Amino acid sequence: MGYTIEPAMWIVPLKNSWAFPVIEAAHLSGVALLAGTILFTDLRRLGLGVARQPGEELDRVFKPWAHSGLAILLATGAVMWFADWGRYRRNPAFGVKMALAVPALISYFVPRRHKAIAIVSLVLWTAVVLAARAIADFDI
Amino acid sequence: MLLSLAQWVHSTAFSAALAGSTWAYPVIGGLHVLGIAWFGGAVLLSALRRRDREARPRPAILWIGGTIMFLTGALLFATEPLLCAASQSFRVKMLLLVTLAATSQVRSKIAIPLTLTLWAGVLLAARGIAFF
């Protein structure tokens, strides 16, 4: 590597403290908010009978929850990355997750009126969550 | 009680097969977390329904998420029964879940904040199993 990243020194000790599981739990609640609302919007879009409301109404009501979830995910995710960046750089599951998270986020901001986009979004977000959970299993 | 249950589960061939498998734990763990996403979305959806009197509530949505989490949770316990029994966080999580079940019929103003606080505690304790 021709460069090094120096994380702020106050953040590194977090990885061995009680704060780390607390931040991870907050990250999980972000998953419940963002992935949960996306899941049900997509299922509604596919007409799978999970909601009677029109898709546009679900979008409108879910939006503040989904965006709070995204903000929580980005903030807690960044803290975890800076606290233990060496671990995440070596972890193949983390690489897969981030590579999937980019198109998943793009599919979230694309208008999901088309059923094909709803299917792509469902597959991508499911894969992101599975890869994220797998980070714990692929520490090398 | 928890320890003897854990020891019994540990002694079964099923538990040994789960623990010996490379993919069982990551796959079941992934499904367990997907269950959390399902549950979060379902809670918001049912809150929306309660506001909209026209739409008949369909509690099956919540039950599906709950069932996924319960079944995959039981399998995770079967994979690592002794680790769970030794973890203080696991005991706290189980106590909180029992409290949630016991208070599920409470109908008052504090019901929603109470439930949300208990679920937040469950999430915290659940994450703590890997640490404490």
Q: Which of B51, B65, B61 is nearest to B119 (CA)?
A: B65
pLDDT of residue A10 exceeding 70: no
Cβ atoms of A136 and A87 closer than 8 Å:
no
Whole-number CA gyration radius for chain B: 17
Q: Is A91 on the interface with B (CB under 8 A)?
A: no
pLDDT of residue A71: 96
Cβ atoms of A98 and A135 closer than 8 Å:
no
pTM over 0.90: no
pLDDT of residue A11 exceeding 80: no
Averaged pLDDT score across all residues of chain A: 85
pLDDT of residue A111: 77
pLDDT of residue A1 exceeding 50: no
**What's the complex ipTM?**
0.76
Mean pLDDT of A61-87: 90
Is A37's CB within 8 Å of B44's CB?
A: yes
How many of the other CB atoms lie within 10 Å of CB of A115?
Answer: 12
Q: Which of B56, B72, B53, B52 is nearest to B64 (CA)?
A: B72
Q: Is B95 on the interface with A (CB under 8 A)?
A: no
Torsion of Cα atoms, B49 then B53 then B58 then B61, to 10°: 0
Cross-chain CB nearest to A133 (options B30, B43, B128):
B30
Distances A113 to A18, A42, A69, A105, A121 between C-alpha atoms, Å? 43, 9, 22, 16, 12
Residues 6+ apart with CB under 8 A from A84: A12, A15
pLDDT category, A4, cuts 50, 70, 90?
low
Give chain B's residues under pLDDT 50: 57
Q: Is A40 on the interface with B (CB under 8 A)?
A: yes
pLDDT of residue A100 exceeding 90: yes
Terminal C-alpha separation, chain B: 20
Binning chain B into helix, strand and coil, the percentages to the nearest 5 are 80, 0, 20
Number of A–B residue contacts, CB under 8 Å:
101
Distance from CA of A129 to the nearest CA of B (A): 7
Domain boundaries, chain A: 14-137
- B-chain CB neighbours of A134 within 8 Å are 26, 29-30
With CA atoms as reference, the chain B residue closest to A35 would be B37
pLDDT of residue A112: 67
Tens-digit pLDDT profile for residues A43-56:
888 887 677 777 77
pLDDT of residue A19 exceeding 70: yes
pLDDT category, A68, cuts 50, 70, 90?
very high
pLDDT of residue A3: 55
Cβ atoms of B55 and B49 closer than 8 Å:
yes
Residue where the block lists tokens 């597959």: A123
Is B33's CB within 8 Å of A129's CB?
A: yes
Instruction: Collapse the DSSP code of A119 into the 3-class scheme (helix H, G, I; strand E, B; otherwise coil) and give the result.
Output: helix
What does the DSSP 8-state code read for residue B57? P
Domain boundaries, chain B: 1-82, 87-132
pLDDT of residue A5: 57
